[in-house]
Amino acid sequence: MIAQALPAEVAPFGAHAPSRFVRAALSLTGKLPDTWSGRRVAFFLRNLVLRSLAGKPLDIEALGAKMRIKPYNNISEKKVLFTPQYFDAEELAILRRYITDDFVFIDVGANAGFYALHAAAHARGRARIVAVEPQPEIFDRLVWNIGVNRFGTVKAIACALADRAGEVTLFLDPANIGQASIRIVGSANAPTLRVPAKTMLDIIREERFNHVDAVKLDVQGAEDLILEPFLATAPTALLPRLVILENSESRWQTDLHALLRSHGYSEITRTRLNAVYALA
C-alpha cells in the first residue's frame, strides 16, 4: 500500500542523473574497503562531488531501490550515496533473512527510507512495511522515494513514536536533519517543532497487524521511550521476531539490552552503531 502519491511538481526520476564524473566517482567510492585509507579516499572524492553538484540532488539506485538523494545536511544520505557498502551491511543482511511471504516490518525513524525500501526490494507483494518519520523535510523525501519505486508494500506515516499518544516536541539538528529526536540532540538551544506522536502498539493496531516480523528503531536516544511501554503492554503474539536497535545506551533511562533479554530476546550481533536481537 502506498499512502502518498508522487508529487506532480517534482521532476521525474532521472532528471538529476549523475554526470560522467560523478558516476565514475561513485563507482569508485562504492567499491572502497572499510579501512582507514578507504574511508579517506571516499571522503576526498565525496568533497569533490559535492562541490561539483552545487546543491543539486542526485537520482541513483542503491540498496535495491531508486532514490533521490540530497547529500548535504543528512549523514545517512551521504553514506548511501557514496559508500552504500558501509551502510549497516550486517544489519541489512540479517533483516533479509527474516523476510517471508507475509513479511511485516516497522521502520521507526525511517529517514529517507533506506531500510524500508531495501526490505521492499527483497519482499514479495504480500509484505506490509510501515516507515515512520516525524521530521517534515525528511518525510517528504521518504514519500518521494516510496512513490518512485511503486513496490506497493510500503506506507509512510508522519509521526513520532513515544511512550504515549498525543503531541511531542521534536528536537532538530540543522547540520544533520536526519538526526531528529524527542530527546534533546546537540544542545538545549536546538530548534524544535511540535509533531503528532503515537505508540508502537497504536501503529500495530491501526494497521491491523496480527504479527510483526521485524522492527528497526533509530530515534537518537529515544528508543527506550518506545520499547519499554511496548514490551510491558503488547500481547506476546505481537512481539517482533527481530529488533534492530540503534545502540544509544548512554542516553537511555532504561537498560534496553537487559529489558529485551528479560522478554526472551537474544543478542545476535552488536555493530559499531546498532544492536540486533532475535526472539527465541
- Cell output for 191: 530548534
Give residue 191's pLDDT: 87
Count CB neighbours of 169 within 10 A: 14
Task: Give the residue-averaged pLDDT of 222-229.
Answer: 96
Q: pLDDT digits over 16-45, tens only? A: 999 999 999 999 999 999 999 999 999 999
Question: Mean pLDDT score of the chain, rounded to an integer?
Answer: 92
Give residue 280's pLDDT: 86
Q: Which helix (H) or strand (E) holds 121?
A: helix 114-122
Per residue in 183-219, is it b (16+ CB within 10 Å) or e — as a string? bebeeeebeeeebebbbbbbbbeeeebeebbbbbbbb
Q: Which helix (H) or strand (E) holds 173?
A: none
Better-predicted residue by pLDDT, 200 or 188: 200
Q: Are the C-beta atoms of residues 112 and 142 closer than 8 Å to each other?
A: yes
What's the DSSP call for residue 123? S
Q: pLDDT digits over 163-198, tens only? A: 999 999 999 888 888 888 888 765 567 789 999 999
Q: Are the C-beta atoms of residues 92 and 277 closer than 8 Å to each other?
A: no
Give residue 56's pLDDT: 94
Give residue 230's pLDDT: 97
Give residue 5's pLDDT: 45
Give residue 212's pLDDT: 98
Give residue 174's pLDDT: 85
The topology under which CATH files domain 89-279 is Rossmann fold (3.40.50)
Give residue 188's pLDDT: 62
C-alpha to C-alpha distances, 243 to 92, 210, 219, 255, 258, nearest whole angstrom = 12, 17, 14, 15, 14
The residue ranges of every structural domain in the chain are: 20-86, 89-279
Give residue 74's pLDDT: 93
Percent of the chain whose pLDDT exceeds 90 = 84
* Distance (Å, whole) CA 12 – CA 118: 21
Is 80 exceeded by the pLDDT of residue 128? yes
Give residue 126's pLDDT: 86
* Distance (Å, whole) CA 267 – CA 279: 9
Question: In degrees, to the nearest 5, what angle opens at C-alpha 127 toward C-alphas 212 and 149?
Answer: 130
Give residue 257's pLDDT: 97
Lowest mean pLDDT among 5-14, 113-122, 160-169: 5-14
Is 50 exceeded by the pLDDT of residue 70? yes
Task: Give the residue-averaged pLDDT of 80-85.
Answer: 96
Give Cα 151 to chain centroid, integer Å.
17
Give residue 179's pLDDT: 83
Q: Is 258 exposed, middle or buried (0-12, 13-18, 19+ CB in 10 A)?
A: exposed
